Amino acid sequence: MEPKQFRHFVNGEFVGSTKTFEKRRPTDNALIGHVHEGGQAEVDAAVAAGKAAMKGPWSTMSVEQRVDLLHKVADEITRRFEDFVIAERDDIGQPRSMLEHVAIPRGAANFKTFADMVKNVPTESFLTPTPDGAGALNYAIRVPKGVIGVVCPWNMPLLLMTWKVGPALACGNTVVVKPSEETPGTATLLGEVMNAVGVPKGVYNVVHGFGPNSAGEFLTKHKNVAAITFTGETRTGAAIMRAASDGIRDVSFELGGKNAGIVFADCDFDKAVEGIARAAFLNCGQVCLGTERVYVERPIFDKFVAALKVKAESIKPGAPDEKSTGLGPLISAEHQRKVLSYYEKAKAEGANIVTGGSVPQMPGELANGHWVQPTIWTGLPETASVIREEIFGPCCHIAPFDSEDEVIAKANDTDYGLSTTIWTTNLSRAHRVAAQIEVGITWINSWFLRDLRTPFGGSKQSGIGREGGVHSLEFYTEQRNICVKL
């Protein structure tokens, strides 16, 4: 098959660059295409297209017309469902079951969800007394900010990209998307969808490339980008924040995590094992909300470790389209080296390797892919590298605890604050402990369960701001007060 060409999407047209780089499939390292790398010129053109669109037909659409158009975008994604599944499968190697039931449906739903929210979002109004007794009416209106820079991660490309693009467009902004260099597929394909349903030119733009001295840096430094939203690594977020300070642009960051799972002895044991297994190993551990630190109350510690070992060893790695596949590969050879380096650090620091710790034996061409084993450690002190630093692989360390105060202190002893999950049948304890964990979201007896209206984001080095529901609308709009003397 001829390698694909992943071109930029600017002002409704697919345009190329003289410089390209390879995109390889993580399951077998096969070449699937060449990605055109954007520089300053491509970013300038995309931002200019977005700025021009703010003054064109997009700006004169009523809210109802814009909502209707975004519903059509969602419907077209659904109509081309298989195309999006294949694009994302080739980019990240995720099992088809997860793509079909989570990634692509949620990617489409983000457009409808935020479009419908915009129709119903309230604003303030006040009748204000004045000295002459006539009074004044103060009311607020929401207006779009302008061109939004959307810098996306590679672990759930369509879902996390539309989580930003959906509300940005619903609020009347235009966007320039910089997908991860590892996952160009669905962001490019979405350009075809935008054209098919009649989204005005320049509303949705895509520029491919890397971060430093490439599309990412040029986009985040661009003076005509009104705000920047980013999901990804904390160090990259810090670099973007420095860039955004020139011009005082708004930022919204969802960054790294080193999330704790807390399992009390009175939990529903089987559900806790199943939940922690999902939180540690889903998407080969490449989930910002994943659980890499597990604390289990001492009376059930040994039993829990043994049960999670069985669960980890039952997860079958394989090709995404195989029904039995429960584990895909890591995104790249570089990331595989990073994760394996932590596997070696754990061994060097004296970890007890309960299971895993290496690369699985894969058949045929899959042996060329970026695979690692689901891995469980015990026995390390809280100062160990694999307990302090985000790994972003299918692994976790399990440690015992004896009291609520002890486990709360351990869960909070981290630079990050994204999420936690608590397993107990004592709901008084669950509420009590949840209120003391320094994170943006706490799950009780569940994990990865989301209501898109709720605030989502992290504390500490896990982010700035909140996404979801009206919280997204707050970021993508400015409120202006109008005072009318009566």
**By three-state DSSP, how is residue 351 classified?**
coil
Question: Is residue 430 in a domain?
Answer: yes
**267 and 223 in a common domain:** no
**Pair 53, 174: CB distance under 8 Å:** yes
Report, in this order, helix, strand and coil percent for the chain, each rounded to 5. 40, 25, 35
* Start-to-end C-alpha separation, the chain: 71
Residues serving a catalytic function are: 254, 288
Tell me the pairing of strands 4-6 and 31-36: parallel
**Pair 177, 75: CB distance under 8 Å:** no
DSSP string covering 65-100: HHHHHHHHHHHHHHHTHHHHHHHHHHHH---HHHII
**200 and 178 in a common domain:** yes
CATH number of the structural domain spanning residue 85: 3.40.605.10
Instruction: State the pLDDT at residue 344.
Output: 98
Question: Is residue 456 in a domain?
Answer: no
**341 and 303 in a common domain:** yes
Say how far apart CA 426 and CA 266 lie, in whole Å. 7
Instruction: State the pLDDT at residue 122.
Output: 86
Nearest to 178 by CA among 201, 160, 197: 160
CATH number of the structural domain spanning residue 263: 3.40.309.10
Say how far apart CA 250 and CA 144 lie, in whole Å. 13
**242 and 304 in a common domain:** no
Instruction: State the pLDDT at residue 93.
Output: 97
**Pair 165, 136: CB distance under 8 Å:** no
Q: What is the pLDDT along the chain (486 residues), one digit of tens a residue?
A: 789 999 999 999 999 999 999 999 999 999 999 999 999 999 999 999 999 999 999 999 999 999 999 999 999 999 999 999 999 999 999 999 999 999 999 999 999 999 999 998 888 999 999 999 999 999 999 999 999 999 999 999 999 999 999 999 999 999 999 999 999 999 999 999 999 999 999 999 999 999 999 999 999 999 999 999 999 999 999 999 999 999 999 999 999 999 999 999 999 999 999 999 999 999 999 999 999 999 999 999 999 999 999 999 999 999 999 999 999 999 999 999 999 999 999 999 999 999 999 999 999 999 999 999 999 999 999 999 999 999 999 999 999 999 999 999 999 999 999 999 999 999 999 999 999 999 999 999 999 998 989 999 999 999 999 999 999 999 999 999 999 999
CA 205 to mean position of chain CA atoms = 19
CA 167 to mean position of chain CA atoms = 15
**68 and 134 in a common domain:** yes
Question: Is residue 455 in a domain?
Answer: no
Domain of 26? 4-255+462-485
Instruction: State the pLDDT at residue 396.
Output: 98
Question: Is residue 439 in a domain?
Answer: yes
Q: What pairs with residue 482 in β-bridges?
A: 139
**Pair 115, 345: CB distance under 8 Å:** no
Question: Is residue 232 in a domain?
Answer: yes
Question: Is residue 288 in a domain?
Answer: yes
Say how far apart CA 207 and CA 313 lie, in whole Å. 41
Burial class (CB in 10 A: 0-12, 13-18, 19+), 150: buried
**172 and 73 in a common domain:** yes
Q: What is the dihedral of CA 227, 232, 235, 241, to 10 degrees?
A: 10
Burial class (CB in 10 A: 0-12, 13-18, 19+), 127: exposed
DSSP string covering 117-165: HHHH----EEEE--TTS--EEEEEEEEE-SEEEEE--SSSHHHHHHHHH
**432 and 290 in a common domain:** yes
Tell me the pairing of strands 20-24 and 174-178: unpaired
**By three-state DSSP, how is residue 207 classified?**
coil
**233 and 382 in a common domain:** no
**294 and 225 in a common domain:** no
Instruction: State the pLDDT at residue 2.
Output: 85
Q: What angle do CA 448, 83, 447 make, to 5 degrees?
A: 5
H/E run at residue 411 = helix 404-412
**280 and 225 in a common domain:** no
Question: Is residue 457 in a domain?
Answer: no
Tell me how long the chain is: 486
What is the pTM (predicted TM-score) of this model? Answer: 0.96
**38 and 112 in a common domain:** yes
Nearest to 169 by CA among 44, 71, 42, 251: 71
Say how far apart CA 42 and CA 216 lie, in whole Å. 11
Question: Is residue 174 in a domain?
Answer: yes
**247 and 358 in a common domain:** no
- Give how many domains the chain has, as a whole number: 2
